Every structure is written in C-alpha cells, then in structure tokens.
Chains A and B, each alone.
Chain A
C-alpha cells in the first residue's frame, strides 16, 4: 500500500465514473457516475493525508467536504429530475437537448 497505488485506485474510480457520466442517457445514471467520481476524490484525499501530511488536518477536511458534496449532488439531482419530469415528462438527457449551452 503505497501512495502511488492508492492514487491509481482513485484515478481508476474517477475515470470509471467519468465514463458513466458521459455515456449514460438516464439522468439518474449520470448522477451515479458523479458519485463514483467523488468516491475517487475521497480515496485520493485520504491517501494524500496519510502519505504526505498526516500531521495536518486539512486532508481530512477535504474528505468531509467531498462527502457533503455527494449528499448535495444527490439531493439537487433528484430535485431537478423530479422538476423536469413533472413539467415535460423527460427522463433522458437527449430529450432535453434544448437545455445544452
């Protein structure tokens, strides 16, 4: 268990999540991709804390911030999904192409 190995795991999680967020048609599945990406960020931040600066608490605070970002992303994502489904019966990104900008 070295810094390089743990960061590789974080990069792998991030890349898989990115692939999901870019390919998925369903809005909810895109959010799952983003969750995986933030999971990678959590692993990376914990690794930096452990292997580079364990005496400083900042690395831990970044993990806390990433966990909060996960919760916020879920709540707002579902709210937006609910709102757009209610008004226009949209559940797939390609149906909302007029929103691209």
Chain B
C-alpha cells in the first residue's frame, strides 16, 4: 500500500511539473489550457495522497470547471489563439528565467537548510470533519472574510465587465431622467 502511495506521488509530481512547463511551450491555447488542467489535477491528487481527500477532490472539481471557462477566455483574448501563425508570445525571457531560477534555488536551499520542527500530534481519523469543524468554529472569522471576499469579487467583476451599467444610464448620482439610452423605449418616446 505504501509503495502505491510513493509511486503515485512520483508519477503525479513529475506529471504536474512537466505539464506545468508545457503550458508555456504550447502555441495552441486549447492545448495550453488542457496542460494547465492536467497540472492542477495532479496537484489535487497530491493533496489526496497527503491525507486530505476532501480538499483534494474539491481542488480537482474546481479546476475542471475553471479551466472549461478559461479555455473560452483564452481563445477569445489571445492574439494567436490557434497557434497557426508562428510568433513569440514572450518578453524578457532571460531576466524572467534568472528571477524564477533564483527563486527556486532559494526555496530549495530553505527547504533543506531550515531545521523543521518535529511532527506534533497525529492526523485525526476524519480530516474532512477536522476542517469543517474548524471553519465553523475557531476559524469562523476566516470563513466570514473569505465569504466577503467572494461577494466583493462577484460585485467587482460584474461592475468591471458590464458594457453599460446604470451609472451610464442615470448619471453619476443616478438622478438623470429619462435615462440616456442609445435607443428610446416605451410608449411615445
């Protein structure tokens, strides 16, 4: 059983890194989206292997939906969606490589040099219950903040992406009557 876990860890880990790298190698946007989805599904799988089945499956489900939406936007907003015309979509490749390489080396050095504390306690029998009880109890403030952040995101995203909202129609103080519309409506207007 332990052998299966270790083998799965290596397979998923290598696949996550390889497909993560391929995201920025593919010229076709559909392929890049699938590669990112593969990488993030492997991340969810690793979380399951680490003993958090609920969070791992939630991550996988969320990523599948997110990438389905992402593919639409990718193809809509890319200068070269199908990858049919050869062009470079990169800038500052050398500098970025230096920065990300340095970050990786620094992180790796930290991983091996930091004296990590000894493991405290043991995992509870039901990890899903652990996180649920925490979010509904001691971490309730965190949960409330996350909820407000998501609400603010819903409002903000709609405000930003609306072509014409009520402020365009009724003015900045919402007191312009009749509203300024490109085409009149109603009876006799």
Residues on A lying within 8 angstroms of B by beta carbon are 1, 3-9, 11-20, 22-29, 32-33, 35-36, 39, 42-43, 46-47, 49-58, 60-61, 63-65, 67-68, 70-72, 74-76, 78-83, 85-86, 91-94
Across the interface, which residues of A come within 8 angstroms of B90, CB to CB? 23-25
Shortest beta-carbon distance from A92 to chain B in Å: 6
The docked-state distance in angstroms from the alpha carbon of A85 to that of B161 is: 10
Across the interface, which residues of B come within 8 angstroms of A74, CB to CB? 66, 69-70
Determine the main DSSP class of A at the interface with B. helix
Across the interface, which residues of A come within 8 angstroms of B112, CB to CB? 4
Residues on B lying within 8 angstroms of A by beta carbon are 5-6, 9, 13, 16-17, 20-21, 23-24, 32-33, 36, 39-40, 43, 46-47, 49-52, 55-56, 58-59, 62, 66, 69-70, 73-74, 77-79, 89-93, 95-97, 99-101, 103-104, 107-108, 111-112, 116-117, 119-124, 127, 130-131, 133-135, 138-139, 142, 146, 149-150, 153-154, 156-158, 160-161, 163
Shortest beta-carbon distance from A91 to chain B in Å: 5
Check if A54 sits within 8 Å of B55, measured CB to CB. no
Closest to A61 in B: B139
Contact for A71 among B23, B62, B93, CB less than 8 A: B62
Check if B93 sits within 8 Å of A23, measured CB to CB. yes
Contact for B77 among A5, A12, A27, A35, CB less than 8 A: A27
Closest to B131 in A: A60
Check if A17 sits within 8 Å of B20, measured CB to CB. yes
The docked-state distance in angstroms from the alpha carbon of A6 to that of B130 is: 22
Closest to B89 in A: A25
The docked-state distance in angstroms from the alpha carbon of A50 to that of B153 is: 31
Check if B46 sits within 8 Å of A9, measured CB to CB. yes
Contact for A91 among B50, B77, B96, B101, CB less than 8 A: B77
